[in-house]
A = this chain, B = another copy of it.
């Protein structure tokens, strides 16, 4: 295999655009100097349309999980009751965080691969008026489901006083997100998925209603105290040393998103999902999720007549193509293709045509080229 040639198509971290890589290699600057202030000043307004909010989007140096924990410790305290809708491994992450803090959690499980049904949540909330926060996942990375968070937020607000917290780590930046309009109270994302950066930053915004709760919340917290980030960002600063090189990269990412246009970015991701799904339908290999529940950033495939892990091994060995396996009880049952951020329809064609070879090599009797053809047809249908 050609050395130094990796095809990274897991659902994050995702590949870094060359211009972002170059931007990150700028000489280091002092984090308390004017240059960093100027950088944050330029970045600040450009994050808002990605979240669909007029609120400041706060930048915390940490992983996506630190962003989820930020959402928890700022909105609830021990003894508070919360509803956590679990559609996969990352809904489960909220449960673990809340348990660590002694929060009283109502766990609402949805079958892996299915999306949240807002109607069911409505019933649950009416039966449990003591719930203060509803935690949910926008794109569930472990299954490739995009949950209907707009409808969910509407149902929550119509039937309770609870805040709506949304984990958007694996899709914000790739899919339309209207935090203010939809009534999302806290929205979290990470740097290493649709935001085309290395891991290391998490982005959090809160609604006015959420800020009232945050300000009054007695839960002890320090590094993840959102008020500190808000009060500093007003002055174009951060409460703690930020990952400066990631901020350099972020500015370039925002330029690229501007250049392409957010609507076009979202359309490209929809196109890539449709191409990927068409390919596997063309190959007669089952997808984990329905068309309706499908995320534009990650697709999970649930083979019936071959081992997902056999295929993953061949793809990595022969082509350096990394796709993800399943998590938790889905381990070995599914594989997942990331098509987010710095990924094009041309990359989808490459992934599909490689996978066809991989399938042949593990003895699967597919018709070579049939998945590629289906993806090409989907491209032409949506793009001609």
Residue ranges of A at the interface with B (Cβ–Cβ < 8 Å): 1-5, 7, 17-20, 25, 256, 259-260, 268, 318-321, 342-347, 349-350, 352-354, 356-357, 360-361, 367-370, 372-377, 379-380, 383-384
Contact B353 A376 (CB under 8 A): yes
- Minimum distance in angstroms from A139 CB to a CB of chain B: 19
Using known A-B contacts A4-B19, A370-B369, determine if residue A361 contacts B344 with beta carbons closer than 8 Å. Answer: no
Cα separation A321 to B19 with both chains bound (whole Å) = 18
Cα separation A347 to B367 with both chains bound (whole Å) = 21
**Residues in B neighbouring A19, C-beta threshold 8 A:** 4
Cα separation A19 to B7 with both chains bound (whole Å) = 15
**Residues in B neighbouring A352, C-beta threshold 8 A:** 353
Chain B, residue nearest A15 (CB)? B5
**Residues in B neighbouring A256, C-beta threshold 8 A:** 3-4
Which of A260, A321, A375, A379 counts the most B-chain CB atoms under 10 A from its CB? Answer: A379
Known: A319-B344, A357-B380, A368-B373. 15 other contacts (CB 8 A): A2-B268, A2-B344, A3-B256, A3-B259, A4-B19, A5-B346, A349-B349, A349-B350, A350-B353, A353-B372, A353-B376, A360-B380, A361-B384, A368-B376, A369-B372
Q: Kindly identify which residue among B319, B342, B374, B380 contacts A346, using a CB–CB cutoff of 8 Å.
A: B319
Q: Kindly identify which residue among B2, B320, B368 contacts A260, using a CB–CB cutoff of 8 Å.
A: B2
- Minimum distance in angstroms from A272 CB to a CB of chain B: 10
**Residues in B neighbouring A321, C-beta threshold 8 A:** 346
Contact B350 A376 (CB under 8 A): no
What are 7 residue pairs bridging A and B, where the CB atoms are less than 8 Å apart in the complex?
A: A2-B260, A3-B259, A320-B344, A321-B346, A349-B353, A349-B354, A368-B372
**Residues in B neighbouring A360, C-beta threshold 8 A:** 376, 380
Chain B, residue nearest A353 (CB)? B349
Contact B4 A18 (CB under 8 A): yes
**Residues in B neighbouring A347, C-beta threshold 8 A:** 350
**Residues in B neighbouring A367, C-beta threshold 8 A:** 373
**Residues in B neighbouring A260, C-beta threshold 8 A:** 1-3
Q: Kindly identify which residue among B318, B343, B350, B356 contacts A350, using a CB–CB cutoff of 8 Å.
A: B350
Using known A-B contacts A2-B260, A372-B372, determine if residue A354 contacts B346 with beta carbons closer than 8 Å. Answer: yes
**Residues in B neighbouring A1, C-beta threshold 8 A:** 260, 344
**Residues in B neighbouring A18, C-beta threshold 8 A:** 4
**Residues in B neighbouring A319, C-beta threshold 8 A:** 344-346
Q: Kindly identify which residue among B2, B25, B350, B380 contacts A361, using a CB–CB cutoff of 8 Å.
A: B380
